[in-house]
Structure 1
Amino acid sequence: MAAPFDPSIPFVRAAASTPHPIGVHAGVWVHDWSAPSARTAIEGSAQAGFDLIEIPLPSHRGTAASAAMTRTLLDDNGIDAVVSLALGAETDINTEDVAVSARGEEKLLEAVAFAREIGASYVGGVTFSAMTKYAHPATEASRANSLDVLTRVAATASDADIRIGLEYVNRYESNLLNTAAQTAAFITDLKQRGADNVLLHIDTYHANIEELSQADAVKDAGKLLGYLHMAESHRGRLGTGTIDWPGLFEALAATDYKGPLTFESFSSDIVSPATRDDIGLWRNPWNDPAEVARHAATFLREHLALSASPISRTQPPQRIERAHEDRNTHQRR
């Protein structure tokens, strides 16, 4: 097995202008990972100023862009990649059903293999349960099964120098992990089993529903925090919702967080009908992926710069004021 993981060592390169890698979810650009889509998403991400792209595990590997092509596109455009997935009802490991759990474990190992093939060092997402509305609470047995499966998956990932991220989600999308505190306790159990390469993944959209504040989520995550989805309260354009961005960035600065910050937003103009229906995307928050991506990259870098400056922390950034103007303009249309 590889040497123990040091969470203070970044697993994704950052730009010279910031210690934090700035990322974007491929779903901002495309709805699949065919060869044309891979080129569109990777080239668009690089041109918008991102350091990494988050690639969801292709649902049909046989029709997806080859791993070699993906690696070439990443190298040619000078950006890194991470891999994500969300288990479903038929691949749930938060279960007492042996057959369903086996399919979930196979899916997780497939994601680890895909990450290794494209040179990615992180597999994150809803890796601990199905992303679905459960009709009952999690049981001790289903939680224990999730721990067992993830312990084995983490061991395989560790051999390939890959980290596993656990992205807790809101109560309507999992019955197991809904807060940073719950997730930290779950990861502590995993680490006691030897799974040192497991990290805590905060999504600001879900945290906005379940946490007292974004800052509290960061505090509860502590040193286990390894990845963030930067998503607005309505999953649209950053700065136009109710997320306390200054409070979040101040909390990240206070904990000396250096991991990736990945913009996640969706439009029904881009995502597949299945994804639209799964996440309830009944209206379009935006129409132009290139514009919303460029705005997000600028927004994140401005907030990082402000949070790094003690003098500026108490002053609201102009970007927030402009974002509210953008929102008002959009609402009048």
Structure 2
Amino acid sequence: MKRLGIHSFVWTGGGTQDELERALDRSAECGYRLIEFAYLRPEKFDLDRLGEKARSLDIEIAVTMGLPLAADVSSTDAGVVKAGEALLADAVKAVRDVGGKTLGGILYSAHTKYGAMPTERGRQNAIEAIAKTADIAKDAGVDLVLEVVNRFESNVLNTTAQGLDFIEKTGSDHVRLHLDTFHMNIEEANPAAALRLAGDKLGYFHIGESNRGYLGDGVIDFELIFDALLDIDYARNITFESFSSAVVDEALSLACAIWRDTWTDNMPLARHAKTFIELKQDEAKRRRATNARP
């Protein structure tokens, strides 16, 4: 693991500059070295100030987002696709301007529950849009990672195998997968096998529990997950993600169906997650060392 991160939605809905800066302070206080923000609109936030504060705390910034229906690059409407391409280009620039290293999330479709299968034309539009965005991201020094999510949040990429096929079709060497234990628990028959399938195409990883709450309080087998991460020599960032209606803003609550408080006090949650993840990593290393003995 390069850096252990935390999603800013653990701390705040992220509506103001001061809220984002407080999220940075609290992340640093807990010992995290990466923070994940939602799309940072340059007209709303002072990106220079935010980036300077992150650097002073030695915290790296990642940004994830989902596209709105009006900018859905998997649409068959050329105008909507064009709007999506423009939004993705702007997002890359915002990540660059804040000093971030990663843009991820549902970049290939709208973040919504669709009412129909994706069309071949729509899928091709998404592939072409991501290929264009990858060129922009490469020039900006920003990693582009596509989050594979469950069926209720996109109809384009729900499994690792679909994600690998999609990025191969972009023809770009600058697109990787963004996998998430919460989504994998829903869609993958064997999440650990899916991680091994992803291999070096895994560019960013979310750790989240099946109930979106405290790690260890759900049904995800994290021992198998961390064993698989070791097997593929994963050395990139890992970010803890947890949502509660106590903090998350209304729009995301609706998109992710956060209908209850999975927790109410975020500091104990954040401290527990860091300890839990580091413990599971250490346990996986000890298992590997034990199994390697003659």
Q: Decide which of 53, 57, 69 is 1:77's aligned counterpart.
A: 57
Paired letter, 2:43: G
Inter-partner Cα distance in structure 2 for 1:266 and 1:40: 18
Aligned residue in 1 for 2:34? 52
Q: Deviations over 1:241-296 (max 9, x none)?
A: 00110000001111111111100001111111222122111111111111111111
Cα deviation for residue 311 of structure 1 reads: 6.4
User: Normalising by structure 1, what TM-score?
Assistant: 0.84
Deviations 1:190-229 (A, max 9, x none): 2x2xx21111110111100000122022022121011111
Q: Which of 36, 58, 71 is 2:18 aligned to?
A: 36
In the aligned structure 1, how far is the partner of 2:208 from the partner of 2:201?
20
Question: Residue 4 of structure 2 contacts residue 32 of structure 2 at CA under 8 Å; is this kept in 1?
Answer: yes
Match of 1:287 in 2: 264
Q: Does 1:99 align with 2:76?
A: no
1:305: which partner in 2?
282
CA contact (8 A) 2:51 2:99 kept: yes
Give the CA deviation at 1:62. 2.4
User: Does 2:250 align with 1:273?
Assistant: yes
Among candidates 213, 217, 228, match of residue 236 of structure 1: 213
Matches of 1:129 and 1:274 in 2, distance apart? 17
Q: Which amino acid aligns with 1:223?
A: D
Say which of 102, 125, 130 aligns to 1:122: 102
Offset of residue 33 of structure 1: 4.7
Paired residue secondary structure (1:233): coil
**Residue-pair matches, total:** 291
Deviations 1:128-173 (A, max 9, x none): 1111111111111111111111111111111111111100111111
Contact 2:153–2:255, Cα closer than 8 Å, also in 1: no
Residue of structure 2 in register with 1:155 after alignment = 135
Q: Which runs of 5+ in 1 are unaligned?
A: 1-18, 315-333
* Mapped contact 2:111–2:255 kept (Cα < 8 A): no
In structure 1, the partner of 2:179 is 202
Letter matched to residue 251 of structure 1: A
Equivalence for 2:114: 134
- Structure 2 distance, partners of 1:267, 1:173, is 17
The answer (yes or no) to whether the contact 1:179–1:207 under 8 Å persists in 2 is yes
* Distance in 2, Cα, partners of 1:180 & 1:311: 25
- Work out whether residues 137 and 143 of structure 2, in 8 Å CA contact, stay in contact via their aligned partners in 1: yes
Partner AA of 1:62 in structure 2: E
CA distance in 1, matches of 2:285, 2:90: 39
Identity %, equivalent residues: 36
Which consecutive segments of 4 or more residues in structure 1 shift more than 4 A? 311-314
Q: What amino acid is aligned across from residue 109 of structure 1 in structure 2?
A: A
Aligned to 2:7: 25
CA RMSD of aligned residues (A): 1.5
Is the contact between residue 153 and residue 256 of structure 2 (CA under 8 Å) also seen in structure 1? no
Structure 2: which amino acid aligns with 1:164?
L
> 2:204 — aligned with what?
227
1:62-73 residue pairs with structure 2 within 5 A?
A: 62-64=43-45, 66-73=46-53
For residue 176 of structure 1, report the CA deviation from its aligned partner: 1.0
